[in-house]
Amino acid sequence: MTRLAPKGGEWIDRNKTVSFSFEGNTFMGFEGDTISSALYASGQTVLARSFKYHRPRSVMSFANHDANVIMQNSAGAFGTPNVRADVTLLAEGMTLNAVNTFGGLVHDKASVLGLFSRFLPVGFYYKAFHSKRLFPLWERMFRKLTGLGKVDFATPHIRTPKQYDFCDVLVIGAGASGLSAALAAAEQGADVVVVDENAKVGGSLTYQPGTEDSILAKVVSHAKIRLLTGTYAAGYYTDHWVPLVDGDKMTKMRAKSVVFASGAFEQPAVFRNNDLPGIMLASAAQRLLHRYSIKPMERAVVLTANADGYRAALDLAEQGIGVAAVVDLRKSHLAGDLEVAVKAKGIQVLSSACIYEALPAADGQRVAKVRIAPFNDGVAGAIAHELSCDGVVMSVGYAPAANLLYQAGTRMRFDKVLQQFVPEVLPYGVFACGRVNGVHTFANRLLDGQRAGATAAAHAGFGAGPDVLVPTEAESPSHSWPIVEHPDGKNFVDFDEDLQFKDFRNAVQEGFDNIELLKRYSTNGMGPSQGKHSNMNGLRILARLTGKEPQQVGTTTARPFYHPVPMSHLAGRGFSAERITPLHSRHEKLGAVWMSAGVWQRPEYYVQPGVDRIDSIRGEAMAVRKGVGIIDVGTLGKLEVIGPDAAEFLERVYISKYAGLKVGMTRYAVMCDESGVVIDDGVVARLADDHFYFTTTTSGAATIYRELSRLNTMWKLNCGIVNHTGSFAAVNVAGPKARALLASLTDIDLSATAFPYLGLRVGTVAGIPARLMRVGFVGEWGYEIHVPANLGGALWDTLMAAGKTDGIRPFGVEAQRLLRLEKGHIIISQDTDGLTTPSEAGLDWAVKLDKPFFVGKRSLQIIAKKPLRQTLVGFMLNEGFTGAAPKECHLAIKDDKIVGRITSISWSPSLQRHIGLAFVSPELSAVGTSLNFRLSGGDFVAAKVVPTPFYDPQNLKQKEGA
């Protein structure tokens, strides 16, 4: 055990032990430990293997700023992949393993890859594995070698809650500047929320001695301040909308103003073997010391370029850890008192020096020595010292934690004095303070926080703002070039991706000398930590290699999420609109099985005692064919266009003609977008010269209404559009007995002469004002009846009662789909896709290119000059077929090539055959052509192209009632 004696302020409860296992061995920790701290305290030096070369890795940032310690927790029924061991609290019974190993952490067989590193330069996979014949082999190999944790696909969907919250001022970060900002805003009367990813607030106050302040107690006790610990701001969205993620939920926080006190990421130095276990950031060593009372090493070398490194050296020495030397990259500095204090401890200080390389112990599991060389203007000289140690502590600079500031739209500039990007122009209502604002000394951070908090409160309507002057920093805490080249490499810039200095040089030599291109080619910053420890050093390297300044190089785009967010939090509890028709309760009583159709709930079919689903659907279909059926079609979009230019508007919107449509008649309507793709269909009915009533698809109602409103605004025609979708109920009564049933309830003349096919009549049904359209989607004599929504239930009840003697039967969506398939009618978005044109869908007869204009006309004229890409045809499986039928989306194969796909298929009880629609290559569209559809298991089913409609090809039943 490497625990130190108990002391005040530690984050562990030594009275409560926690048992867990790692790589098959049992360990003990304390309540409050993270996984990393418990393992490190137990003497477990190697915690993981690196992604590419499978090198041994251990604690580096101890703040989740690197991917060195990602683990798999196998405890529980399904386990958890990619556990962030640095920040995940230890729990009883955890069963942990390192990820991305082959044979376990100690005997990882993939570690042999390190021997072949010279053959695996940056971008090697782009060049060496593009053989068409061998690529599948390489793909399988790389998929097996790469990746992190393993997902158990049997894991059930975990529904995590989401909640909404509001505040005047949101402060992100609970370090010195964040607490100061929160206190200043609260004292002006603002409601303040402070969020911090750590288990406790305080930031560096909790691990850097000599910086304690009474501000912490003031914040905790303030009535206007709420503290959310163990919670991180995952992103920034418009109008100060910030998702806050904790272990159990996501909180959608809306603030009037936001203060970013997110601090800075301490950056590693780059030298040979800088990834050996025992080499860590100074802040990591101090967190281990003070938060968890862990002795991180016995003898250390401190590599520094700022005052924090000297503080860390003193900190180590005061805890009984030997410090072999402080190696300062700089020639001179202003931290005189700290250097005097370090030398007073008997610690030698080597200025203008660097660590040229670290040497591993005999077993390769930890650093054993470092070689020191002079360092002048970024260039290392000859080896001057060799120091034995079992740990290296680095404090050579910082990169601002500015991801969220970038997402908010902040313009940043590179400050040469600070060697850091700092905010230059902040968005409205956004404020920054502390290290992210380029303010590093403790006293200045408090002042900067006070300034930002008071200003944010004033922006939210509280107080008049601050009168605070923040002094400039005396010297930069970041070295301009903490990077040492080495001919043998292994000087890692990105620990997540195993990227070495030479990888950047090679990428630039190959032309990837733009920061965004370099990122994608080298994958720098694309690992789990998203460049928190590598982006700044990568930027410096690119700047030097191209002879530019960091400001000219710029930074990569920062996108949400700032930290990895569990998929369960993103999925969470679904929130989507759900609509029901006025007849919903009637369907419930009739035993409807519900299905979603867009945002609507529709009956899929109606349960019949002792009858299974398939037979119920077929029974409903045959009731329509032989008697009379009724279906709720109230989900259709129902729109009106009224005014002198109403006909002109429809002429422009739809591909057919409507100016000559007679009053009292209807016409099928197809709509395309500007590219000539079919997007919707319906029926247009003319009520008067200047008054049209028309329907859209169920799923397209809202979208089409918005689009038509946009077009009407743009065209400025003299007409108005009214959306009646929710104002009208609608049913379709269809079947050979439909006319007789309806005749008993209305005075409208229903004869074929007085009310022809595709006719429209306005009158009453059972005393209810109604619009009736004689349309035939299901292929039988039928009427679509539209009535006011509040009278829909009365209409349904009356029709059901009147049709009882004729055996009227309600039918659902599945029976409707079967009936329309027998008639060869298409369903938009099922028998079409996002590229289907009217000609491909067999709707070219509806296209009237002789009109002056309609949406999509120009594209359709161009398309008409080109050969068809595919054609929708009807097909039947060969007569006598009795096996497993193909399904929608199963492919048609000819000569080992894909030549088509099924869009609709079903067994037809009317025809006693399997029928369907399919897209096929034009040369296969002729009637009588043989097709072969491949089943999921690889077997083939034979079919032939046949003409449509399959049922009643002369359309006599829907026109004449024969």
Task: Specify whether the CB–CB gap between 430 and 567 falls below 8 A.
Answer: no
Q: If 0-12 CB within 10 Å is exposed, 13-18 middle and 19+ buried, where does residue 77 land?
A: exposed
Mean pLDDT (the chain) is 92
Residues in the chain: 962
Beta strand extents in 543-634 (DSSP E only): 592-597, 600-606, 629-632
Buried b (16+ CB within 10 A) or exposed e, 231-245: bbbbbbeeebebbbb
Which candidate, 656, 673, 632, places its Cα nearest to that of 828?
Answer: 673
Nearest CA to 397 among 355, 425, 438?
438
Mean local confidence (pLDDT), 902-912: 97
What is the CB neighbour count within 10 angstroms for residue 648?
19
Phi/psi for 533 (5° steps) reads -110, 0
Q: List 932's β-bridge partners, or say none.
A: 942
340-378: per-residue pLDDT in tens?
Answer: 999 999 999 999 999 999 999 998 899 999 999 999 988
Task: Give pLDDT, residue 130.
Answer: 64
> pLDDT band for position 81 (50/70/90)?
confident
The model's pLDDT over 102-119, given as tens digits with 9 standing for 90+, comes to 888 888 888 877 776 676
CA 180, CA 852: separation in Å to the nearest integer?
A: 68
DSSP bridge pairs for 192? 169, 225
pLDDT confidence of residue 211: 63
Would you say 402 and 409 are in contact if contact means Cβ atoms under 8 Å apart? no
Answer yes or no: is pLDDT of 23 > 70: yes
Any idea which residue has 């302040």 for tokens? 213
CA pair distance 35, 944, nearest whole angstrom: 64
Q: Which residue has the tokens 């040497």?
A: 359
Q: Provide the sign of the torsion angle of the four alpha carbons 195, 196, 201, 202, taken in this order.
A: negative
Has residue 527 got a pLDDT over 70?
A: yes
pLDDT in tens, 842-873: 999 999 999 999 999 999 999 999 999 999 99
Look at residue 307 and give its three-state secondary structure: helix
**Which stretch of 292-306, 479-493, 543-557, 908-922 has the lowest confidence by average pLDDT?**
543-557
Q: What pLDDT was estimated at residue 882?
A: 86
Location of structure tokens 């405890």: 75
What is the phi/psi pair of residue 666, to 5°? -125, 165
Window from 286-300, 546-560, 650-664 with minimum mean pLDDT: 546-560
Q: Region of 208 please: left (phi>0), alpha (psi -120 to 50) or beta.
A: beta
Q: How confident is the model at residue 714 (pLDDT cuts 50, 70, 90)?
A: very high
CA distances 414 to 185, 418, 433, 530, 903, Å, are 29, 8, 16, 20, 57
Q: Compute, in degrees rounded to 10, the torsion defined by CA atoms 492, 494, 496, 502.
A: -60
Helix (H, G, I), strand (E, B) or coil at 761: strand
Q: Can you spell out the DSSP letters for 219-246? A: HHH-TTEEEE-S-EE---BTTTEEEEE-
Which of 94, 84, 398, 91 lies closest to 232 in space, CA to CA? 84
What is the pLDDT at residue 157?
A: 67
Q: What is the mean pLDDT of residues 28-56?
A: 93
Please determine, for residue 891, whether its predicted confidence score (pLDDT) is greater than 70: yes
Question: Is the Cβ–Cβ distance between 308 and 331 less than 8 Å?
Answer: no
CA dist 548 and 515 (Å) reads 12
Burial of 315-333, coded b for 16+ CB within 10 Å and e otherwise, reads: bbbebebbbbbbbbbbeeb
DSSP state letters, 829-863: TTT--TT--TTTTT-GGG--TTSS--TTHHHHHHH
Interatomic CA distance for residues 806 and 632, integer angstroms: 19
The amino acid present at 915, given as its one-letter code, is: I
Residue 139 has pLDDT above 70, yes or no: yes
Going 931 to 936 to 940 to 941, the CA torsion angle's sign is negative
| CA neighbor of 831 nearest in space, from 914, 897, 909, 901 | 901
Per-position DSSP letters for 414-451, written without gaps between them = EETTTTEEEEEEPPTTEEE-GGGGT--SHHHHHHHHHH
pLDDT of residue 663: 98
Asked whether the predicted pLDDT for residue 395 surpasses 70, the reply is: yes
With beta carbons less than 8 A apart as the criterion, state whether 917 and 902 touch: yes
Using CA atoms, how far apart are residues 61 and 274, in angstroms rounded to an integer?
A: 13
- Give the separation between CA 765 and CA 915, rounded to whole angstroms: 37
The C-alpha atoms of residue 730 and residue 799 are separated, in whole angstroms, by 12
Instruction: Return the structure tokens found at 890.
Output: 């199963």
Query: How remote is the C-alpha of 194 from its chain's centroid?
Result: 26
Cα dihedral across residues 171, 457, 217, 319: positive or negative: positive
| Helix runs in 792-944, H state only | 792-802, 813-822, 857-864
Give one DSSP letter per residue of 27-74, joined into a string. EEEEET-BHHHHHHHTT----EE-TTT--EE--SSSSSSSSTTEEEE-
Question: Would you place residue 572 in the very low, low, confident or very high pLDDT band (cuts 50, 70, 90)?
Answer: low
- Residues with Cβ < 8 Å from 31, sequence gap 6 or more? 12, 13, 16, 17, 18, 90
Nearest-angstrom CA–CA distance, 147 and 99:
8
Distance (Å) of CA 131 to CA 123, 135, 139: 16, 5, 11
pLDDT at 962 over 60: no
Q: What are 261's two structure tokens?
A: 């006190």
Residue 632 has pLDDT above 90, yes or no: yes
Query: What's the confidence (pLDDT) of residue 334?
Result: 80
Alpha helices in 716-812 (DSSP H): 738-743, 792-802
b (16+ CB within 10 A) / e for 262-282: bbbbbbbbbbbbbbbbbbbbb
**Structural tokens at position 884:** 């497993």
Report which of 93, 104, 45 is spatially closest to residue 69, judged by C-alpha positions: 45
Cross-strand partners of 492: 500
Q: Which residues of 822-860 are buried (b: 16+ CB within 10 A; e: fewer)?
A: bbbbbbbbebbbeebbbbbbbbeebbeeebeebbbbebb
Instruction: Render pLDDT for 503-526 as a digit per residue (tens, 0 to 9).
Output: 899 889 888 888 988 888 888 888
Residue 213 pLDDT grade (very low, low, confident, very high; cuts 50, 70, 90): low
**Gap between the Cα atoms of 3 and 656, Å rounded:** 82
The mean per-residue pLDDT over the stretch 707-734 comes to 97
- Give the pair of three-digit tokens for residue 672: 């395309």
pLDDT band at 264 (very low <50, low <70, confident <90, very high): very high
Q: How far apart are CA 507 and CA 513, in angstroms?
A: 7
| pLDDT tens-digit series, residues 415-466 | 999 999 999 999 999 999 999 999 999 999 999 999 999 999 999 999 887 7
Using the 8-state DSSP alphabet, how is residue 657 labeled? -
Nearest 5°: phi and psi at 147? 100, 170
Q: CA dist 348 to 341, 351, 627, Å?
A: 11, 10, 102
Helix axes 336-344, 307-318, angle to 10 degrees: 30
